[in-house]
């Protein structure tokens, strides 16, 4: 009997957060998996910071760093295997992954750096477009900047702080961000909706997908 196929990274993300998964529905399947992989890694690294003991947090971050650096495609953890595959394909670089893990190590040492860790994670996610050669002609230095601002929004939403809205210049930069636009715009929209009072969290809102589609439609026609 044929074995059951492993679930996609998008399906794994959907199991964690339906609304996060919705944000990746409008990009090419060729890049959806690597994009979801980076967000899943960020969520795992964030989970490593739950302990009140700094040393335990650092040990957990180091486990991920060591597993990724070891580069074995036969690792027991499926997310590690996926990351190694993306490294071998040149979609993720050792440098970007080192920077991502280092940012979360700083957050493990001092939670005041949590926003910086999320900024680095979303910037790493956005850089995949250029590595994949999909929408590469639209890539620019401003993409890194807008990605980091949206990373800060995600951190605010996940730590139950008021989410800082994007400025008009930020929204214009987002419109010029190429193939990653729908993902970044969706993540920003979800972060803002997460902090909206008297409104259900996007994961609990059956209408969120329709609100997201309407938001992206308005942004694309603006």
| 216 within some domain | yes
The pLDDT, as a whole number, for residue 134 is 42
| 3 within some domain | no
- pLDDT tens sequence across 161-190: 999 999 999 998 888 888 889 999 999 999
Domain that holds residue 87: 19-221
- pLDDT tens sequence across 54-95: 999 999 999 999 999 987 777 889 999 999 999 999 999 999
| 37 within some domain | yes
Q: In this structure, how many other beta carbons lie within 10 angstroms of the beta carbon of residue 207?
A: 10
C-alpha–C-alpha distance, residues 5 and 100, integer Å: 29
Total number of domains constituting the chain: 1
| 11 within some domain | no
| 14 within some domain | no
| 210 within some domain | yes
Residue with tokens 């979609």: 91
pTM of the model: 0.90
| 206 within some domain | yes
């Amino acid at each position: 009997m044929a074995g059951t196929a492993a679930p996609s990274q998008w399906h794994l993300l959907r199991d964690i957060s339906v609304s996060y998964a919705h944000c990746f529905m409008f990009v090419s399947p060729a890049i959806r998996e690597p994009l979801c992989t980076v967000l899943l890694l960020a969520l795992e690294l964030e989970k490593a910071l739950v302990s009140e003991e700094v040393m335990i947090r650092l040990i957990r971050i180091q486990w991920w760093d060591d597993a990724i650096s070891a580069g074995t495609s036969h690792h027991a953890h499926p997310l590690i295997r996926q990351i190694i595959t993306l490294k071998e394909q040149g979609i993720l670089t050792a440098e970007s992954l080192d920077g991502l893990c280092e940012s979360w190590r700083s957050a493990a040492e001092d939670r005041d750096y949590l926003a910086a860790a999320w900024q680095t994670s979303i910037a790493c996610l956005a850089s995949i477009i250029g590595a994949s050669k999909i929408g590469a002609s639209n890539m620019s230095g401003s993409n890194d900047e807008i990605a980091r601002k949206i990373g800060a929004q995600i951190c605010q939403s996940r730590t139950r702080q008021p989410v800082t809205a994007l400025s008009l210049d930020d929204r214009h930069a987002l419109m010029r961000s190429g193939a990653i636009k729908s993902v970044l715009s969706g993540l920003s929209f979800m972060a803002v909706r997460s902090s909206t009072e008297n409104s259900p969290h996007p994961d609990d809102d059956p209408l969120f997908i329709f609100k997201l589609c309407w938001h992206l439609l308005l942004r694309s026609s603006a």
